[in-house]
Structure 1
Amino acid sequence: MALQLQTSAQQDIIYPDSDGQPMADNTKQFRVIVTTQGGLDALFQNDPNVFVAGDLLWYPVEGDNKTRVAPDVMVAFGRPKGDRGSYQQWREDNIPPQVVFEILSPGNTLKEMSKKYKFYERYGVEEYYLYNPDRVDLAGWLRSGEQLEIIEEMAGWVSPRLGVRFELEAGELVIYRPDGQRFATYLELAQQKEQAQQLALEQQQRAESAETLLEQERQRSQALLARLQELGINPDLLEQ
């Protein structure tokens, strides 16, 4: 009976989808979060068992709706894609997100970030990346046993899980895919799409122009042939 009561109580617990905190405090932080989440989502778009999310609450312990955190970006390998209100780990085959990103804003405190570090270390994160866009400072930690240990050199670092490479270029974080392409902002992607469409249009116009010239040449040849025939000249004899 006690077990049944406990199970019923656990089922009645509400796990809120929001912690009431904003996703970002400024445009710079928001842009980095969206670019990172979008880039990773695109990178693993063809793998149905890689879940990528941004600003999603993660509850690691069933029955405990107070122990939670919302990484700016999380990646969970071995979990299917799909919408979720929160990441309830016991409903995800007890698989924690293996990779998390935090993008600092002026509102983040040392105490807050220290708590997040301890949370990620305790609950199984394998790779933790922390970026300060105002200072252009990138730090990373990699799991070793039960601990997250600092990555001494982040410039050129390649994530073991993601396969992406981190660089600090021209005063900003740049993340490169395994194929060498950089993560692009939404604006950059829109510009690339526009350029591709313009190039395709120009190629189509050139093809149509070439086709028009060929048709004009064919018509001139036919007209010349007809004129020769009118004059009683055999065109085949002209080629001998």
Structure 2
Amino acid sequence: MRFSSGVVLVAGLLALWEVSARLDWMQTPNWPPLSQVLAALARDILSGELPELAGGTLLRMAAGLAAGGTAGVMVGLLFATLPLTARLFGPTVELIRPIPIPAVVPPLVLFLGLDDAMKVTVVALTAFFPVLTNTMQGIAAVEAETLAMGRTFGIGPLRRALRITLPAALPYILAGLRVSLALALVVAVVAEMIAGEQGLGHYLVMMQFAGRAPEIYAAVVALALLGYALNRGFLALERRAIHWWFALGRQAEG
């Protein structure tokens, strides 16, 4: 019921878009009808231009997400299991965390240039903090009795971390990755807009300079569809990876 209601709402908003543009409700030439936007989207897809641009953006996003997510899990595990490291490096992490990501792009351009290394680094920084926070929360939620049982059976610290702590914290880690996934796509496009020569972000800027409104909105629609598909795909993978977590949740609700 909720899904069908959501589809009806989206369809209504899209119909309103078409009608408002056809009847000149917005009083601007930069609000094209949805039909023109979809035509531009189909044209750019069939020409191969949009898939190529989207593929580049997704590759940079995936590389940054993998690097930032891995670093977030490792640092979170280190902070949670060795309090000394949290006391030493925690203030530095908290100092860097509030910096807006677009503000980081210009300094990174000076150090890394305009190539993919800069964009991947920006995405990695974005993904790092949500995963770090969720990893630490997940490890803190591991029951002390479970860890004590591992010590009783003679399991060493490293094996306890890999066999007990990380699997128990996996639902939290995946939740952090899902948050980072949405942010990573946004930041990858923003980095391409600020300092890029390729990707959907650069395409948006070029279409803006050319005054081609249908192509601009077509790229935005493509990004919306990409974001939705990525989220749905990640949710499916999450349910398969931690199916036991969802099963326990349903049992608790019952």
Task: Please say whether Structure 1 and Structure 2 have the same fold, judged by a TM-score greater than 0.5.
Answer: no
In proportion to residue count, which structure has more strand? 1
The alignment's TM-score, normalised by the length of structure 1, stands at 0.21
Which structure has more helix as a fraction of its residues? 2
TM-score (norm 2): 0.20
